[in-house]
Amino acid sequence: MKIALSGYYGFDNAGDEALLSAITSTIKRLEPSANFVVLSGYPGKTARLHGLRAVNRINPFSVTREIRGSDLLISGGGSLFQDVTGPFSLPYYISIVALAKLLRKPVIFYAQGVGPINRRYSKLLMRWIANQVDIITLRDDDSLQLLQRIGVTRPPTLVTADPVFTLQPGEQDEHTMKKLLEQVGIHSSSLVGVSVRQWTPLEGYQTRLASLLDRLVRTGLQVVFIPMEYPADIAESVKVSHLMQEKSLVLDRQFSSQEHLALISHLHLMIGMRLHSLIFAASQQIPFLGISYDPKIDAFLKLFNLKPLDGDVDQMYMQVEGLLQDRIQLEKMRATAGQFREKAEQTARLALSLIKK
């Protein structure tokens, strides 16, 4: 049984690499005979990191050969089908799906977050290809509503959950993170993790965030910046850290998905811009608040009945305090995360059902 995977793999984005680990490990647990080939931006890197066979995702001969020899194409997870990061991303991922259908292979959209899709031709392409796949699974209701507005009606479509909810850190990952925190002089059990990224439309938020973090430090918390995409997030982390008056720490190193999970499991609170910093926190039952730079952040927060962290410093501080003191809300968040773990495994079962058919 051979499964091809198409996604944003090989580019050192912690969220996408976690997705690849989660999808393949869950399917392998359910079906030990499953083998995988990954369409990757950097095949050698993917092979070393995940122990999976990988080919260059833009080599048409390799991609065609691998899909032709596969029993299923998994498209996703992540936010592949959107046109805000450039005009070529969405057509690329659609072309991979179109190739698989041309070769008469079953295709599943695997717990994807769809949108924003703004260009008219993007909507036409999306409606055309999505109506040809075999099963569509999505990670939030907003994605479902977008597909319905575009006119996607044919495939069975349901909302499950982000695959990363199935991931858990191992004992070695826990040991590595405990040792790291000791080495950098962090012994507090009241850590605030911060995940930021550069985003031009939000320019200026850094000063307010730094002031909020200063207030949290003065209450006895410690602040640590965690790069989710390395090294891209380091400069923004340093920028916010330098705007703070109180002491903070930037972890200038790359972590595996399981190491990220182990590190985040030690936090008292996560404040994140990167979606998977929030998903990692939720999966480890750590309270979190999100800074919205993209509709996918709002959609995820909505699942937990949360609003984006916004407003002046006083308003943001009240949001943080309100969350940490609301025991009922925290219990609801933990219960929701448990439900998402079950839904994430359901996606893998649906994928395997296409092969067994």
Q: Return the closest-CA partner of residue 259 out of 90, 17, 72, 48.
A: 17
Residues 302-316: tens digit of each pLDDT? 999 999 999 999 999
| For range 246-267, the mean pLDDT | 92
pTM above 0.75, yes or no: yes
Q: Where are the alpha helices (DSSP H) in 103-233?
A: 120-130, 141-150, 171-183, 205-218
Q: Is the per-residue pLDDT at 331 higher than 80? A: yes
What is residue 324's predicted lDDT score, i.e. its pLDDT?
Answer: 94
What is residue 87's predicted lDDT score, i.e. its pLDDT?
Answer: 83
266 secondary structure, DSSP code: T
3-class DSSP state for residue 40?
A: strand
What is residue 168's predicted lDDT score, i.e. its pLDDT?
Answer: 87
Q: How far apart are CA 256 and CA 224, in angstroms?
A: 17
Count of Cβ atoms closer than 10 Å to residue 185 Cβ? 9
What is residue 265's predicted lDDT score, i.e. its pLDDT?
Answer: 92
Q: Return the closest-CA partner of residue 163 out of 16, 48, 336.
A: 16
Residues 85-94: tens digit of each pLDDT? 888 999 999 9
Q: Is the per-residue pLDDT at 357 higher than 70? A: no
| For range 157-166, the mean pLDDT | 94
What is residue 286's predicted lDDT score, i.e. its pLDDT?
Answer: 95
| For range 330-335, the mean pLDDT | 93
Q: How far apart are CA 79 and CA 70, in angstroms?
A: 23
Q: How confident is the model at residue 298 (pLDDT cuts 50, 70, 90)?
A: very high
Q: Is the per-residue pLDDT at 120 higher than 70? A: yes
| For range 280-309, the mean pLDDT | 94
């703070």: which residue's tokens? 244
Count of Cβ atoms closer than 10 Å to residue 310 Cβ? 14
| For range 188-202, the mean pLDDT | 90
What is residue 14's predicted lDDT score, i.e. its pLDDT?
Answer: 84
What is residue 51's predicted lDDT score, i.e. its pLDDT?
Answer: 94
Q: Where are the alpha helices (DSSP H) in 111-196?
A: 120-130, 141-150, 171-183
Domains of the chain: 2-159 (3.40.50.2000), 171-339 (3.40.50.2000)
Q: Is the per-residue pLDDT at 73 higher than 90? A: yes
Per the prediction, the chain carries an average pLDDT of: 94
Q: How confident is the model at residue 5 (pLDDT cuts 50, 70, 90)?
A: very high
What is residue 336's predicted lDDT score, i.e. its pLDDT?
Answer: 92
What is residue 340's predicted lDDT score, i.e. its pLDDT?
Answer: 92
Q: How confident is the model at residue 188 (pLDDT cuts 50, 70, 90)?
A: low
